[in-house]
A and B are shown apart, each in its own frame.
Chain A
Amino acid sequence: MSANRLREGEGALRRDRTLSFTFDGKRYTGHPGDTLASALLASGVRLVGRSFKYHRPRGILTVGSEEPNALVELRTGARREPNTRATGVELFDGLEARSQNRWPSLRFDLGAINSLFSALLVAGFYYKTFMWPAAFWEKVYEPAIRRAAGLGRASLEPDPDGYEKAHAFCDLLVVGGGPAGLAAALTAGRAGARVILCDEDFLLGGRLNGDRHEIDGEDGALWARQTAEELAALPEVRIMTRTTVFGAYDGNTFGALERVADHLPMPAAHQVRQRFWKIVARRTVLAAGALERPIVFGGNDCPGVMLASAVRTYVNRFRVTPGRRTAVFTSCDDGWKTAFDLVDSNVEVPVLVDARREVPAELEGQASRRGLRVVLGAQILDAHGSKGVRGIDVRDDRGRTSRIATDALAVAGGWNPNTALSAHLGGRPRWSDTLAAHVPADLPPGMIAVGAAAGELSLAGALRTGAAAGRQAASAAGFEAAADSPPRVADEAAGGTPLWFVQGFRGKAFIDFQHDVTTKDVAIAAREGFHCPELLKRYTTLGMGTDQGKTSALNAHAIVAALTGRSPADLGAIAARPPYTPVAIGALAGAHRGPHFRPCRLTPSHRWAESRGATFVDLGEWRRAKAFPLSGETDWKRTLTREVRSVRDGVGVCDVSTLGKIDVQGADAGTFLDRVYANMISSLPVGKTRYGIMLREDGMVFDDGTVARLSPSHFLLSTTSAHAVKVLQHLEHARQVLWPDLDVQLASVTEQWAQFAVAGPRSRALLERLLEGVADVSNAGFPYLACAELQWQGRPARLFRISFSGELAYELAVPARRGEAALHAIMGTGEDLGVVPYGMEALGTMRIEKGHVAGAELNGTTTAHDLGLGRMMSARKDYIGRVLAGRPGLSAPDRPALIGVKPSRPDARLTAGAHFLRLGAPPSLENDEGFISSATFSPTLGHWIGLGFLRGGQRRIGERVRAHDPLSSGDVEVEIASPIFYDPEGNRLRA
């Protein structure tokens, strides 16, 4: 039997089973129903961690998610979880936990030496020193501070567990499964409403499990269990335990984290570790309860000093006492319950100290019936003990101080309603003088606060307000709840007078336990003018720990208020921000990680390309064949050269299905396209294709592509692969917002068609065979820029005489399902013509040889003039971008314009990103004349070539300049050339 486990009573444990776990390598045992914290307490472990700054010994303060002290590293290896609250960890067999932020060991921590300098390490000390000598900060001080940073250690390995997201919708979301929440869910659930009830605990009931209550004459915990069973049986009610609603967002949307497998050694196959829920709720009931606050006195951080309600829960639910002798220090009625429960569980209570001079007679009666020693109007000044409480100094109402031996101390400073979720949308809680705490005010639309969260501290109040809110939510969703009479409960004393801090203590009095913020730090901050809550927080780091000040913020405000002669009400509440409790980054990412981070779009020929041993490249969402190396081609240059030469001398085929295809129809289609393209489209004859550019409203070039006219009222646009979606959005904007009166219909047909470029002098020969009897592809019958709709192999098909490579070329489009088949047909038909597949590398190289602009040139900051396309801007019509393109800054003659470059030394390599400098000009921004946007080795010309933008543009053809690239490959002298390196007259593509 472990040290502090009470002998009798089950509580919420299953004593018939024993679980074993280790803490700092030492083996302990507990039972199902234990948390790591309760099991450690049961085993007599009081020292569980060290504080952040002074490395002070720390124990367990609370029983819930507000715990500031008891943080451990849970699990090992890739599953190591730093800063895990022992109070929230459900015990499982084989659990491994380690203490943090101590070296070499928890009991003997060298970091504790900081305590010796505590006089120096006060609020703001960083900012006042480490400044001289200047060099030391970077090299000595700062690295040292960073080494000292942090509490637990994250794993360096990828998280092996899975996560997922889920969406839920309900009439009523109940946050918190205590008496108020259960009453709300039950009322609405019975009425037939869709209810979701979330509680971060693995056991519903809240304080009903921690306190001793009677509801309708039976044990409160039992009532909770029975209510949970009834709820579970209701078809439209979903109970989510181990689930924290961590944030409220706009549109009645809530974020919740379900800990699916954290109570298991590891998730089962196909089971996630955690699930991130996005819950949309018509109504929300905030039944998150209240958090008890500590009292600030000397040595109040000593292990063994705990919140009174926590002690009560450990005793009643977990059958554990924090110490064989446990004193109580309170300023409210609630604290007395702890003393009573301890005594009734045969734990010695050396003294109950109540700061109030007068208390309800009923309490005194119960105390004397139990023979409890009570001191009224007294205060505890200091707690003593190095690694655990051994004694307390009590000053009575006559100022006499006496030391009383005890090995634990339960502290009850009153209750703070848990208002967090009510304030996530910017609402600020209101100060209540009766409670001496903030209560929810100005709540998000549709949210109702009930029970302790609303300041209703009595059980009767919780049940009453909960049921009422449940009824209200049900009727809002169209369900009428039966007017059940509320369960019978005894009314209880819940009064108190706040005692924020005692005076005349000797030791350090802590406000924020985790960050070691003491009364002295707060005093300094106030003295230096940092007394507004936000500044106080930032200057002292108060409330910035993993507990986000749940147990410290209000005490700090009360102390500052006292120091500056104000009331805590004047300071207001610190803005609450999501998440309510820390949420794993992995959970919020869900399944979108690794290769599944974003979807991957595959071309119709993907499998075929794989079978041909292609290499692939990711271009945005698309994955495209980069090249088709033959066995033995180890060097990318050899493959590139072969693919380009094969196209230039023979014929090649390339999957260009990724280009956006937009179908435009309607009587006004021509007019519409004239307005969105800079060049004239309406004059395009049926059966013809035209190159077009679109400008943004600000006059910059947006996208380029071809426009084919299939009938007087039917056009087919092609866009760049990258802009396909943006262009459709742009056109829909023009159609729906700018010119809703035009008769135009738009549809994306990108996915419908597989499209293959068949390019090279022998492409005609290939297509003559392939389309025999289907289309006349002769130069006369199907000249450059012709287009036609065909019926091929019993399917619709489309043929275009367009060329990106600069060769005689066609593009054949077939229904996407037919893509692979068509490719096989092309390859089969062209076998003896030497047809080869070519990839993005060759495509990109040939477009640079031909001087076609692409993404690197269409970078959103280039005008049509910059790109050498100025002549395309029609003067005969109005179109998007026309007016602003005329701004002086966009038409200035000194703007860098498109040119070609080739190295003066034929063997020299060019890099995109190099900047142009005049020969001999020193490198400086003033001398920067432009840059290389695209560069490639040209197999056709046998040397590197590039496109770029240069001040003066093509006026400078023939001039030699320096391509300055200190970053990667150094400087190269280049000659300015026409951007069209290959067949400038365009004879080949017209052949």
Chain B
Amino acid sequence: MRIECPLCGERDVSEFSYLGDADFRLPSADTDGLADRFYEAVYLRDNPSGPHRELWYHAGGCLCWLRVTRNTRTHEILGVELATEAPRA
């Protein structure tokens, strides 16, 4: 598997480390039922069979966090963006 780092170019997967579901969002402190929201954010991550938006860290390169869209059934990479620049939709 090769990931196109927006900065470094296409690199082997061995340079990256994986975090998972990129739509993971920290609830803001004022939400009610905060504990439940946090439980969902931290433990109930998206795990689709197919396209998946996920966070990768270029640990063996520029140390950037990336939002990668990848098909978990075919391992095809569908898109990569810097976490700092990606729309946080």
Do A and B share a direct contact in the complex (Cβ within 8 angstroms)? yes
A-side contacts of B59, CB under 8 Å: 725, 729
By the criterion CB–CB under 8 Å, are A883 and B57 in contact?
no
A249→B75 CA distance, assembly (Å):
10
Chain B CB within 8 A of A367 CB = no
A958 interface contact, C-beta 8 A = no
- Say yes or no for A253: interface residue by CB 8 A criterion: yes
Interface size of B by CB at 8 A reads: 27
Q: Write the chain B residue with the least CB distance to A426.
A: B74
User: Do residues A740 and B84 form an inter-chain contact, with CB atoms below 8 A?
Assistant: yes
Residue from the list B35, B63, B82 in contact with A886, Cβ < 8 A? B35
Query: What is the CB-to-nearest-CB distance from A579 to chain B, in angstroms, rounded to a whole number?
Result: 18
Given contacts A729-B57, A878-B29, A886-B35, contact A737 B83 (CB under 8 A): yes
CA distance A251 to B19 in the complex (A): 20
Evaluate contact between A736 and B84: CB separation under 8 angstroms: yes
Given A280-B2, A732-B57, A887-B35, answer yes or no on A740-B83 (Cβ-Cβ < 8 Å): yes
| Chain A residues in 8 Å Cβ range of B29 | 878
Residues of chain B from 1 to 43 with CB closer than 8 A to chain A in the complex = 1-2, 10, 12-13, 17, 19, 26, 29, 34-35, 38-39, 42
Asked whether B35 lies within 8 Å of A250 as measured between CB atoms, the reply is no
Most A C-beta atoms less than 10 A away, residue of B64, B77, B82, B84: B84
CA A733 – CA B57 in complex, angstroms?
8
Complex Cα spacing A728 to B35, Å? 27
Task: Tell yes or no: A697 within 8 A of B by CB.
Answer: yes
Bound together, the chains give a CA A698 to CA B42 distance in angstroms of 7
A882 to chain B, nearest CB (A): 9
Main secondary structure of the interface of B (DSSP, over half): mixed
Contacts of B26 in A (CB 8 A): 738
A363, CB-defined interface residue at 8 Å: no
A405-427 interface (Cβ within 8 A of B):
425-426
A883 and B1 CA atoms in complex are apart in Å by 37
Q: How far is the CA of A732 from the CA of B38 in the complex (A)?
A: 21
Q: Which of B30-89 contact A (CB under 8 A)?
A: 34-35, 38-39, 42, 55, 57, 59, 63-65, 74-77, 82-84
Whether A497 sits at the interface, judged by CB under 8 Å, is no
Within 8 A of B (CB), among A423-467: 425-426, 445
The reply to whether the CB of A884 lies closer than 8 angstroms to some CB of chain B is yes
Tell me the complex Cα distance, A697–B75, Å: 28
Most buried by A among B1, B2, B38: B38
B38, A251: Cβ atoms closer than 8 Å: no
A128 nearest CB across to chain B (Å): 39
A22 at the interface (CB under 8 A from B): no
Give per-residue flags for A721-741: 1 if the beta carbon is below 8 A from chain B beta carbons, else 0.
000010011001100111010
Q: Which residue of B lies closest to A738 (CB)?
A: B26
Q: A426-B74, A884-B42 are contacts. A732–B65 as well, Cβ < 8 Å?
A: yes
In the bound assembly, the distance between CA atoms of A736 and B35 in angstroms comes to 24
Contact A732/B63 with A251-B13, A737-B55, A878-B29 known, Cβ cut-off 8 Å: yes
A738 / chain B contacts, CB cutoff of 8 Å = 26
In the complex, are the beta carbons of B39 and A729 less than 8 A apart? no
Any chain B CB within 8 A of the CB of A252?
yes
Q: Given the complex of chains A and B, what is the CA–CA distance between A869 and B14 in angstroms?
A: 38
Known contacts A251-B13, A426-B74, A883-B35, A736 near B2 by CB under 8 Å: no
Q: Are A250 and B84 within 8 A (Cβ)?
A: no
Residues of B within 8 A of A732 (CB): 57, 63, 65
26 A-B pairs with CB atoms under 8 Å apart are A249-B1, A250-B1, A250-B2, A250-B75, A250-B76, A251-B1, A251-B2, A251-B13, A278-B12, A426-B74, A697-B42, A725-B59, A728-B63, A729-B59, A732-B65, A733-B55, A733-B57, A736-B82, A736-B83, A738-B26, A740-B83, A740-B84, A883-B34, A883-B35, A884-B42, A887-B35
Q: Which 9 A-B pairs have the closest CB atoms?
A: A251-B2, A250-B1, A250-B75, A736-B65, A883-B38, A740-B84, A878-B29, A737-B83, A736-B83
Residues of B at the A interface (CB closer than 8 Å) are 1-2, 10, 12-13, 17, 19, 26, 29, 34-35, 38-39, 42, 55, 57, 59, 63-65, 74-77, 82-84
Taking A729-B17, A733-B55 as given, write out 20 further A-B residue pairs in contact, using a Cβ cutoff of 8 Å, ordered by the A residue number. Answer: A249-B1, A250-B13, A250-B75, A250-B76, A251-B12, A251-B75, A252-B2, A253-B1, A280-B2, A697-B38, A697-B42, A733-B57, A733-B65, A736-B65, A736-B82, A736-B84, A737-B55, A740-B83, A740-B84, A884-B38
